[in-house]
Amino acid sequence: MKFLSEYRDPELVREYIREIGKITTRDWAIMEVCGGQTHSLVKNGILGLLPPQIRMIHGPGCPVCVTPLHLIDHAIHLAEKERAILCSFGDMLRVPGSEKSLLQAKAEGADVRILYSPLEAVSLAKENPTRQVVFFAVGFETTAPANGLSVVHAAELGLSNYSILTSHVLVPPAMEAVLDDEEASIQGFLAAGHVCTVMGTAEYGPIAAKYKVPIVVTGFEPVDLLQGILMTVRQLEEGRYEVENQYSRVVRPEGNPGARKVLERVFEVKDRDWRGLGTIPMSGYELREEYAAFDAKRKFEAPEGKAEESSLCMAGQVLKGIIKPQECPQFGKACTPSNPLGAPMVSSEGACAAYYHFYHVMEETK
């Protein structure tokens, strides 16, 4: 299959649905890790086409959703109090902090800019030598190499006014965290294909063996997802728990060696706070000591006070797959995309936003 339309071919979709139904003999719970996969499942009505025995659980693979409140508050503090040029990808701007979002701070006069690449922020720092420029570096292993390269580039240019506010999280520790949760009922995983494009597949073998769960690295189009579900169900039905690669047209076992070399050079693995999930040991990247001058957390003091989540928000249970978004009492009522209680209702990869925008599609396909 060479063209995008082939990954959305209705006849191929029907064939995979039929095959999944043919081999499924009992109930299975499968988590798709990535929020992009969740949106594709919901938007394309796939959840309503699957056999009733297959329950898809939406995982914590939305980096915007799991960025902790205190880091959003820190970003707002940098823009408002430190008068920095605060740069970010657009999906972070409407995510609520403890009191406001970056978009609200921008509306009140803070210099908050939406960029498409951290290298644009490096150029801004070069063009504005009297201003501090901070890039809000959010994401899984997928976006970390580019953010790391921006630091390397800034160091080579001698830019003392450039830094990044790091909120990089790692997928494998998050998978283990949800498997260790007593309320979890996950029997198999669809792993995020774009993360594996960078990191490869070696990290998943020990998880599959330890927890006896099949892990299938999967793409994002309807045919990708259905093939990944079929491969997972086949393993479950046969009592196997292996790592398989559905996304072989993109993912290599070794990942991207050049990108991994950048990650090893610039970052080290540390404990990380996850919004809604708490602290997960050794689950995030922080800048190495050699690049401390480009670390906004060390360069600027964090705002005072403890950031508190809304007591009404059940995003943590959604991110763990314990409840579906529409099972939250605030879904579509006190919590909407225009007035979100939590990040999953705002992010382009958030499960709550997917259900809010596309839930009618799912209902119609039942």
Q: Who has greater pLDDT, 23 or 307?
A: 23
Q: Who has greater pLDDT, 337 or 284?
A: 284
d(CA 280, CA 271): 6
Task: Compute the average pLDDT of residues 248-252.
Answer: 95
**pLDDT value at residue 302:** 84
Average confidence score pLDDT of the chain: 92
Residue-wise pLDDT tens digits, 12-45: 999 999 999 999 999 999 999 998 999 999 999 9
d(CA 68, CA 278): 9
In the three-class reduction of DSSP (H, G, I as helix; E, B as strand; rest coil), residue 261 is classed as helix
List, in sequence order, the alpha helices (H) in the chain.
10-23, 35-43, 46-49, 63-66, 69-80, 102-107, 118-127, 144-157, 171-180, 193-199, 204-211, 222-238, 257-266, 296-299, 315-319, 351-365
Q: Which positions ≥6 away from 10 have C-beta within 8 Å?
A: none
Residue-wise pLDDT tens digits, 159-168: 999 999 999 9
d(CA 122, CA 128): 10
d(CA 85, CA 108): 14
CATH topology of domain 58-303: Rossmann fold (3.40.50)
**pLDDT value at residue 318:** 87
Domain ranges within the chain, ordered by starting residue: 58-303
**pLDDT value at residue 310:** 78
pLDDT value at 347 more than 50: yes
pLDDT value at 86 more than 60: yes
Q: Who has greater pLDDT, 164 or 317?
A: 164
Q: Which of 98-102, 105-109, 135-139, 257-261 has the lowest mean pLDDT?
A: 98-102
Residue-wise pLDDT tens digits, 202-244: 999 999 999 999 999 999 999 999 999 999 999 999 999 999 9
Encoded tokens for 138:
């959010």
**pLDDT value at residue 192:** 95
> ∠ CA 35-36-41 to the nearest 5 degrees?
95
The predicted model scores a pTM of: 0.90
**pLDDT value at residue 85:** 98
